Amino acid sequence: MKTLLASTLLLACLSGAAAADSDTRCYELRVYHAAPGKLDALEGRFRDHACALFTKHGFTNIGYWVPMENSDNKLIYIIASPSREAHDKAWKSFIDDPDWKAVAKATEADGKLVTKVDSIYLNATDFSPEIAPSHTDAPRCFELRTYTAAPDKMDALLTRFRDHTLKLFVKHGMTNIGYWTRADKEKPQLIYLLAYPSREAREASWKAFFADPDWQAAQKASEVNGRLVAKVEYVFLSATDYS
């Protein structure tokens, strides 16, 4: 029975990998650098006002996180809209909303809360699981990973993820949250988000993944003409209580 249940769960996870085939939404990854001593106030503004105002103006709140090691006072979040045109219109209506203007004025009476905003527009890959807001009371470790492909290797990198990597992640206890590429094509990057029960579970999962003969075979076969990834960046995240 346990074997059958495990097989059923695995098949459900794998079938979800094709769920984003028709996901043409516009995603935006935003990183806010809070002013010194202002991160709590910034989070309070999102918790009490901004998230609801985003919904009011047509955005979908995908998730909000802070880095586990957060010396730069960052807040990271992802929002989505049906299209880039809808996204731009939503931002305009949000900025022009008297409710938002009142909130911004009240929360910045003692100075601005944000010193810098980084923004990347994203497209979901055809192999991403269905990307939807989710919340659980169980604490989890999230990991946002950015792979910069080697020259002319982006398609091969995506193929390896599509055909091998996602299934192996599931096999080793990782939860696939979402996979995207940059909409602006400025850099050949794959950006994805994973979740684990804990930081310790993350380390165990990656150790098992790298030791897996199936991964080693897939990596070797896909890199006969050179490595696919030029640079890997990652950050460990904790979900906010309003995510």
The DSSP code sequence of 154-174 is HHHHHHHIIIIIHHHHHHTTP
Across 169-190, average pLDDT: 95
| Max CA separation in the chain (angstroms) | 61
Residue with tokens 């990596």: 219
For position 185, what pLDDT does the model report?
81
pLDDT at 29 over 50: yes
- Using 50, 70 and 90 to split pLDDT, how confident is the model at 108? very high
Burial class of residue 98 in the structure, from the number of CB atoms within 10 Å of its CB (0-12 exposed, 13-18 middle, 19+ buried): exposed
pLDDT at 106 over 90: yes
Coil, strand, or helix at residue 76? strand
- Using 50, 70 and 90 to split pLDDT, how confident is the model at 21? low
For position 8, what pLDDT does the model report?
34
pLDDT at 202 over 60: yes
Q: How far apart are CA 191 and CA 232, in angstroms?
A: 10
Q: How far apart are CA 229 and CA 153, in angstroms?
A: 8
pLDDT at 136 over 90: no
Six-digit token pair at 208? Answer: 């098992």
**pLDDT tens per residue, range 36-57:** 999 999 999 999 999 999 999 9
For position 137, what pLDDT does the model report?
72
**pLDDT tens per residue, range 205-223:** 999 999 999 999 999 999 9
pLDDT at 190 over 70: yes
For position 242, what pLDDT does the model report?
95
Whole-number average pLDDT of the chain: 92
Percent of the chain with pLDDT over 70: 90
Q: Measure Cα distances from 82 to 28, 88, 96, 133, 238 in Å.
A: 12, 11, 20, 15, 27
Instruction: Report CA torsion sign: 159, 162, 163, 169.
Output: positive
Q: How far apart are CA 169 and CA 93, in angstroms?
A: 40
Coil, strand, or helix at residue 143? strand
The dihedral region occupied by 73, where left means phi > 0, alpha psi between -120 and 50, and beta the remainder, is left
Q: Measure Cα distances from 101 to 31, 59, 74, 96, 98 in Å.
A: 21, 18, 23, 7, 5
- Using 50, 70 and 90 to split pLDDT, how confident is the model at 17? very low
- Using 50, 70 and 90 to split pLDDT, how confident is the model at 162? very high
Residue, of 10 and 67, whose pLDDT is higher: 67
Q: Where are the beta strands (DSSP E) in the chain?
A: 26-34, 60-67, 74-81, 114-124, 141-149, 175-182, 189-196, 229-239
pLDDT at 105 over 90: yes
**pLDDT tens per residue, range 144-155:** 999 999 999 999
The rounded Cα 61 to chain-centroid distance in angstroms is 12
**pLDDT tens per residue, range 61-83:** 999 999 999 999 999 999 999 99
For position 186, what pLDDT does the model report?
83
- Using 50, 70 and 90 to split pLDDT, how confident is the model at 9? very low
Contact 199, 236 (CB under 8 A): yes
Q: How far apart are CA 171 and CA 71, in angstroms?
A: 34
pLDDT at 15 over 60: no
